Structure 1
Amino acid sequence: MIPECCSYREGQAVVMSQPWLYPTILLCIYGFFCSHRPLEPFLTPFLMGPDKNLTETEVVNEIYPFWTYSYLVLLFPVFLATDYLCYKPVLIVQAASLIVTYALLVKAKTVPAMQLLEFFFGLATATEVAYYSYIYSVVEPSHYQRVTGLCRSVTLLGSAIGSLTGQILVSVAQLPLFYLSVITLVSSCLAFVAPWFLPMPGKSLFFHNSEANSQDEAALEPMNCSQLVEKSKDQGSKSQAHADERTTLKDRTSHSGFLEVFKMLWTDFLQCYSSSTLLAWSVWWALSTCGYFQVVNYAQALWEKILPSNDFEIYNGYVETISTLLGAFAAFVVSFAKVPWEVWGELALCSFSVVIAVCVYLMDTIRNIWVCYTSYVVFRASYMLLITIATFQIAANLSMKRYALVFGVNTFIALLLQTLLTLIVVDSAGLGLDIFLQFLIYASYFAAVAGIFFIAGLCKLIKSRRSSELADRGQNKSIKVSTEEDATVSKDIQDIPKA
């Protein structure tokens, strides 16, 4: 017979699932059209072609670095604005920034105008923190893995369809690249509509805490029975973490000042990163995202160097489509996979980092366009697989209200590293290296990342074995003591005079 509390919980889950479905569908629609960019695989040929007539040095060393700098500068203010405005307005700003970006791409031709374009694109990418923060503000922690895989798969699907559309229009219809920029602008305008219909979340991390806290308590009141069921399934530690967080939020004022917010940020930062599992995934996130951004940003420049688009037919769109679809498939499959990542995490990070390093090295040294294309496909699919795992692993080790903080910190560290790498390696104010030397450095960078996690995995294995040996010794000692005690008791019984 099913207990009444279980049947109540199942009935409530059916009722509560409907409010999550509506914003999730809207977010997927928004993510699809935001990532549907037919021009993206041909951006470098478009800028260096007859439409814009920019040189390789201007594109690679003067224009592209502005995106990295803008992203870094805007990320932290956007993070605070995301929390203060409760996500939805920031999503609208992101959609508007994409419209400005592609409107400038259609009209602008000078280097300063292109640098302004990169600034607005940096604003659009900085506001991505609102996209994933919104997801976790309307979904229960038990649904994090599945919703993460779904939303990421839809955005990757939009990117793949956009790349395929662009390649077909270029190769089959012989459409000039200018019209791809117009289609990309139209997709951004369609994406601008969706966030207006999203409901405003009632939860905020640092600002407007009293309102959010009261809503949390109201939502928790009818869940007493289900909490008992969760505790019976070994969820006591998570329930205690949520209780501690609610106690902390109660102590905060309704309208926190910025100084208090910074103190809260620091306190929560220390608490979040005290988890060794979360720290390992976050370190990989920051290091690999830095290298991933560099490779993706400058891959087209490498392809253009190996096979100039003015002299040969290029297949950048097909490559982006295949790599994105593989990444989307990996993100979708891993959302259902049951793997003990706490055991295999470091080994997986090390192994895939080696694969990524080899792919980038082959892109740089072989200098055959087909080898380059194939290596890029494997590189992107591997990264998308691991970043999806890292996303829900971080979410699973955090309460819902701290996800935006950790996501923002990880991305900020990645961008800080990327900025240093760009300043030293790419920017004309630094070394301004040739594109082949750049990719050699990126391959070495990923090899270093693999080395870091190999050492981390080795240390974890040694520590685990030592703990196992100590446990065995303790168990043997306990058995020995128990045997001696049993022998003593038996001797005492034998010494008792018989009646």
Structure 2
Amino acid sequence: MEVVKRWRSDWNYPTALLCIYGFFSTVKPLEPFLFPYLTGPDKNLTTEQVNNQVFPVWTYSYLSVLVPVFLLTDWLRYKPVVVFQSVMLLVTTALLRWTGSVPAMQAMQFFYGVVTASEVAYFSYIYSVVDLKRYRKATSYSRSVQLLGYTIGSVLGQLLVSFGLMSYNNILIFTLVLTCLAILTSCFLPMPRRSMFFHRKRSGEVPSADGGGKGPVEAARTSSGSPGEARDGKVQRAETEEDEDKEESKGAESCSQVLLQLWRDFRQCYSSRELLCWSLWWAMATCGYNQTVNYVQVLWEHVQPSQNFSIYNGGVEATSNLLSAATAYGIGFTDVRWEQWGELALGGFSGLGAAALFLMTFASNIWVCYSSYVIFKCLYMLLITIAMYQIATDLTMERYALVFGANNFGALALQTIITSVVVDSGGLGLSIIPQFIIYSSYFSAISVVFSLRGLFNCRRRQKNKTEQTSADRRGSLASEEHKF
């Protein structure tokens, strides 16, 4: 029993539980085949309904709930939102399995947007239950296991569909079982005693056994004699209610103070031109990446309408995930001064991504389309890893979480504009090929902007270096003349 208690108090316990939850919540065998499933005999939706009416709801939902979920996640101390995320994932899968109308599929996309927005709880939870020196390992484990879940889900879906082992509906039942395991695991996560913004550790608190904290008044009451010796029951209840009122007022005050501090941190962070540049690319590129990933199955179906080829979607997603992970991992071993060459890298690799998108858009061969998608995804993961590293270098964990949320909100705002104008049936309602021409042109514009800025900064640094060299030379000549 003592061994179990010691293990539960160690950092490995919450990390292991979170990784198990992350794995079961990301194994989604049907996800690479979502478009064929919706347009197939099971749901009988048309391509226009899925593309222009169903898929856009996810973007609107994600944007609308992102900020409230971000604040509630910290206020509730992560675990309740993790449990809530798993329940919403169960609702999403159930709607996908047992409903089939356009409004029901739109509701499914709404709940999936809530699931996606709640991922902030998954990525933030670990920082509230482990020591600072464990951050790197815990982050690596929790992120890697998610990628493993996505990859295994894609491979599993590929095998089940290719060999006809399960129908699409039975795959969804299997996914519901995995989601139930994720819910069960999330319930065993220990409740954090602190959070990054609302529940910071205060100097007067005494930790309690249930993971909470006691104020100095409550701690003194506990250490004194029995309640009968201290005061009668009525007085004690009155003081307890008074303490609760004080705690509520303190909570309201801390909430306003936190929001004010967040605004100050936001202004200070984005006052840095370098951070603003990296964040601008992050928001713009993530917007284009999300649009591409959301609608690429529609493009694949357009390039090769035969159902025989849609069964390879899972293999393509698994390959792209593995190669993207290898690309991002390899960045850690490169010795490049990204603060000097980063903007040129952003421009150059974004240009390659735009070329891959153009090739994918106009390719008549499905394998060329698949290969271009894998290249595009690897390039994005390469650059977003560099951007995350550069932004996080000089920020505290609290400010990094703020910048991370603000950049994703900016990406979603741009994505909402593009979706409402280009994709939604209430806007232009374009078909898939014109959509991807716009996405390709969008990345081309990103490439031009950041390449020009990178060249300008390189020229400015070279000019400053030349002027500094000339000044040093004049200074040395003046010193020599002074000697004579």
**What TM-score, normalized by structure 1, do the two folds share?**
0.81
Taking the aligned partners of 1:441 and 1:358, their CA distance within structure 2 comes to 13
Shift of 1:474: 3.0
**Structure 2 matches for 1:38-187, cutoff 5 A?**
38-137=29-128, 148-187=139-178
Corresponding position of 2:243: none
Shift of 1:440: 0.5
**Structure 2 matches for 1:68-467, cutoff 5 A?**
68-137=59-128, 148-209=139-200, 211=202, 255-256=252-253, 258-310=255-307, 314-467=311-464
Shift of 1:145: 5.9
Show structure 2 runs of 5+ residues with no match: 1-5, 207-249
SS of equivalent to 2:41: coil
Does structure 1 conserve the Cα–Cα contact (< 8 Å) formed by 2:283 and 2:411? yes
SS of equivalent to 1:193: helix
Taking the aligned partners of 1:24 and 1:460, their CA distance within structure 2 comes to 43
Does structure 2 conserve the Cα–Cα contact (< 8 Å) formed by 1:137 and 1:401? no
Corresponding position of 2:229: none
Does structure 1 conserve the Cα–Cα contact (< 8 Å) formed by 2:18 and 2:142? yes
For 1:292, give the aligned amino acid: Y
Shift of 1:254: 6.0
Taking the aligned partners of 2:204 and 2:35, their CA distance within structure 1 comes to 49
Segment of structure 1 superposing worse, 90-99 or 206-215: 206-215
Does structure 1 conserve the Cα–Cα contact (< 8 Å) formed by 2:194 and 2:201? no
Q: Deviations over 1:72-128 (max 9, x none)?
A: 000010111112112222112111111111111111111111111111100010011
Shift of 1:309: 4.5
Does structure 2 conserve the Cα–Cα contact (< 8 Å) formed by 1:357 and 1:443? yes
For 1:425, give the aligned amino acid: V
Provide the identity percentage.
52
Shift of 1:195: 2.9
Shift of 1:161: 1.0
CA 1:481–1:202 in structure 2 vs 1: closer, same or farther (change >3 Å)?
farther
Shift of 1:142: 6.9
Corresponding position of 2:231: none
Shift of 1:52: 0.9
CA 1:146–1:159 in structure 2 vs 1: closer, same or farther (change >3 Å)?
same
Segment of structure 1 superposing worse, 332-341 or 177-186: 332-341
Q: Deviations over 1:242-277 (max 9, x none)?
A: xxxxxxxxxxx7653554443222211011122333
Segment of structure 1 superposing worse, 303-312 or 315-324: 303-312
Taking the aligned partners of 1:59 and 1:334, their CA distance within structure 2 comes to 37
Q: Deviations over 1:274-322 (max 9, x none)?
A: 2333222211211111011111111111111222254656311111111
Taking the aligned partners of 1:482 and 1:213, their CA distance within structure 2 comes to 62
CA 1:478–1:151 in structure 2 vs 1: closer, same or farther (change >3 Å)?
farther
For 1:416, give the aligned amino acid: A
Shift of 1:352: 1.8
Does structure 2 conserve the Cα–Cα contact (< 8 Å) formed by 1:149 and 1:331? no
Corresponding position of 2:474: 477
